[in-house]
Structure 1
Amino acid sequence: MASQSQGIQQLLQAEKRAAEKVSEARKRKTRRLRQAKEEAQGEIEQYRGEREREFAQKQRTVLGSQGGLSSEVEQQTQQKIHLMTKSYRSNRERVLRHLLSLTCQINPQIHCNYHHRA
């Protein structure tokens, strides 16, 4: 009976050691998963940073060319405004004289539908 009791005690101790090893393995697995998650998060952030830098570079390239177009359109607009102002100044007097001459020339005439009945 004593040997049976001793065998049972050994089995219980073996089960306890096995449970401890399983528990320790689970803890190691949890720690390793947490560490892998942190490493993956770091890699994701690094990749995101690289992609954002590439995007910003492409955006600067595209917007830079649009900025060039914008300045070119602005320059053309200023040139057209200058030409229109110059044309206005050079033709202003002539147009005013023409309008005044048309306004001041009065040629009284009887309207063709007017019938004088006497």
Structure 2
Amino acid sequence: MTSQSQGIQQLLQAEKRAKDKLEEAKKRKGKRLKQAKEEATAEIDHYRLQREKEFRNKETNVMGSQGNLSAKIEEQTTEAIRNLTSSYHRNMENMMKKLLSTICDISPEIHPNFRPAV
């Protein structure tokens, strides 16, 4: 009988150790899942930050080039205005002389179709 009760005791102890090992394995599995989830979240965040950085770089390249285009157009417009202004000042005096001479220097002539009254 004692050997039978010893055998039962051993079985109960073995069952308890198995339950303990099972619980410990479940805890390790839970910890590992939690750790994997945290690692995945960190990796996702890192990837998201990297993609956002690339997007911002591309955005600044595109917007920067548009800014460069507007600056270039502004510069060309300023240059054209400067050229026109200098041309105006350079030619204004000569043009005014021509206009005044055309208006003021009148040489009276008789029109070819004029017939004197008889």
TM range (shorter): 0.5 to 0.7
Question: TM-score, normalization: structure 2?
Answer: 0.63
Unaligned runs of 5+ in 2: 1-7, 98-118
Q: Which runs of 5+ in 1 are unaligned?
A: 91-118
The answer for the alignment partner of 1:72 in structure 2 is 80
Alignment match of 2:41 (pick from 24, 33, 47): 33
Which residue in the other structure is 1:116 paired with? none
Deviations 1:6-33 (A, max 9, x none): 2222111110111011111111111121
Partner of 1:54: 62
For residues 50 and 6 of structure 1, the distance between their equivalents in structure 2, rounded to whole angstroms, comes to 65
Aligned residues with identical type, % of pairs? 7
What is the rounded CA distance, in whole Å, between the counterparts of 1:32 and 1:64 in structure 2? Answer: 47
User: Which of 10, 16, 30 is matched with 1:8 structurally?
Assistant: 16
Which digits, 9 at most, give the CA deviation of each residue in 1:52-105, with x for residues without a partner?
Answer: 111111112222112111111111222333346x57xx9xxxxxxxxxxxxxxx
Question: What's the TM-score once normalised by structure 1's chain length?
Answer: 0.63
Size of the alignment, in residue pairs? 87
